């Protein structure tokens, strides 16, 4: 064990933490919005909505994230009409390609979690809401959504941890977040075990904090037992 190297690289790798958190934060936020839309489409009785939503979820969950990232970063930019379009300033940036890919990915996985949550809302609540004279929109936001969030939170916490782990893939398209910096140090110093321990501990710490936050939110939202 080269402890001095571990100490030095700890501070180097720490510089990648803001980028990891930034990417996770932006794509989780955008992905949550996407997931609600996809989940609502998925449970719709109209095949025009449910089939595209189902296919989207199947496509994303059936292929590796790395492939999705390559597809967005290299595949789409192959065409000159894309390179000449207004989207090019976004699609040529590895940062935004990473955000797009992670957003789409978490959108598909979370859609299934949210769908499960929505379907667990018992019919009685919805009928009570209707009896109180709530319209479709306020019924969704005031009755269905709060219960869904409470139901889906534990599974969504897992998804957040998977997102932190998944964000490491953007290092492959040259972004220097935690894993990217760790890889550079490993190939320079050839000390894989030491650097793994340092970078791994940082990830475990981030995930530990997320787990605590989710647990706190779960406690806040749970029905107090009398």
Partner 1 sequence: MLEAISFGDAGWGDEMLMGAFWTVAVSISSILLGLVIGIIFAGFKLSSIRVLNLIAEFYTTIIRGVPELLVIYLLFFGGGSAVMYVAKIFGYFGYIELQPFVIGTLAVGAISGAYSTEVIRGAVNAIPRSQFETGSALGLKGFRLYQKIIFPQVARLALPGIGNVWQITLKDTALISVTGLVEIMRQSRIASGSTHEPFIFYTIAIILYLIITRVSNVAFDKAEIRYSRGFVKRKIS
Q: Do 201 and 10 meet the contact criterion of CB atoms below 8 Å apart? A: no
29 binds partner 1 (CB under 8 A): no
How many Cα atoms sit within 13 Å of 52 on the Cβ side? 7
Nearest-Å Rg of the Cα atoms of the chain is: 21
Query: Which one of residues 29, 51, 67, 221 is an interface residue with partner 1 (CB under 8 A)?
Result: 67
**Closest separation in Å from C-beta 157 to partner 1:** 13
Residue 124 to residue 32: CA distance in whole angstroms: 27
Residue 99 near residue 30, CB atoms below 8 Å: yes
Whether the Cβ atoms of residue 189 and residue 5 lie closer than 8 Å to each other: yes
One of 25, 71, 88, 216 touching partner 1 (CB under 8 A): 71
First-to-final CA distance of the chain: 54
| C-alpha dihedral (66, 69, 75, 81), degrees to nearest 10 | 180
Report, in Å, the least distance between residue 67 CB and partner 1: 6
Least distance in Å: CB of 179 to partner 1? 6
85 or 138, CB closer to partner 1? Answer: 85
Instruction: Output 35 or 202, the one with its CB closest to partner 1.
Output: 202
Which positions from 139 through 198 interact with partner 1, judged by CB under 8 A?
161, 164-169, 171-172, 179, 182-183, 186-187, 190, 192-193, 196
**Cβ atoms within 10 Å of 34's Cβ, excluding its own:** 20
φ, ψ dihedrals at 43, nearest 5°: -95, 0
- Decide whether 130 or 188 has the Cβ nearer to partner 1: 188
Residues 6+ apart with CB under 8 A from 215: 157
Q: At closest approach, how far in Å is the CB of 193 from partner 1?
A: 6
Looking at the Cβ atoms of 26 and 172, the one nearer to partner 1 is: 172
Query: Contacting partner 1 (CB under 8 A), which of 5, 76, 87, 144?
Result: 76
Instruction: List residues binding partner 1 (CB under 8 A).
Output: 58-59, 61-67, 70-71, 74-76, 78-79, 161, 164-169, 171-172, 179, 182-183, 186-187, 190, 192-193, 196, 199-200, 203-204, 207-208
């Amino acid at each position: 064990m080269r402890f001095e190297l571990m100490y030095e690289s700890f501070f180097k790798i720490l510089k990648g933490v803001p980028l990891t958190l930034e990417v996770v934060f932006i794509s989780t936020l955008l992905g949550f919005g996407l997931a609600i839309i996809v989940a609502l489409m998925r449970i719709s009785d109209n095949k025009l909505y449910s089939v595209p939503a189902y296919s989207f979820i199947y496509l994303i969950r059936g292929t590796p994230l790395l492939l999705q990232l390559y597809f967005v970063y290299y595949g789409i930019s192959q065409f000159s009409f894309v390179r000449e379009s207004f989207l090019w300033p976004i699609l040529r940036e590895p940062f935004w390609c990473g955000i797009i890919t992670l957003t789409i990915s978490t959108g598909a996985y979370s859609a299934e979690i949210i769908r499960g949550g929505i379907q667990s809302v018992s019919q009685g609540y919805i009928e009570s809401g209707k009896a109180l004279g709530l319209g479709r929109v306020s019924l969704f936001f005031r009755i269905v959504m709060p219960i869904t969030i409470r139901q889906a939170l534990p599974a969504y916490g897992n998804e957040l941890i998977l997102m932190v782990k998944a964000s490491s893939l953007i290092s492959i398209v040259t972004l220097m977040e935690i894993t990217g910096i760790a890889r550079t140090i490993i190939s320079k110093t050839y000390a894989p075990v030491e650097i793994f321990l340092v970078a791994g501990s940082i990830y475990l710490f981030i995930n530990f904090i997320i787990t605590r936050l989710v647990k706190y939110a779960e406690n806040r939202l749970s029905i107090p037992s009398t």
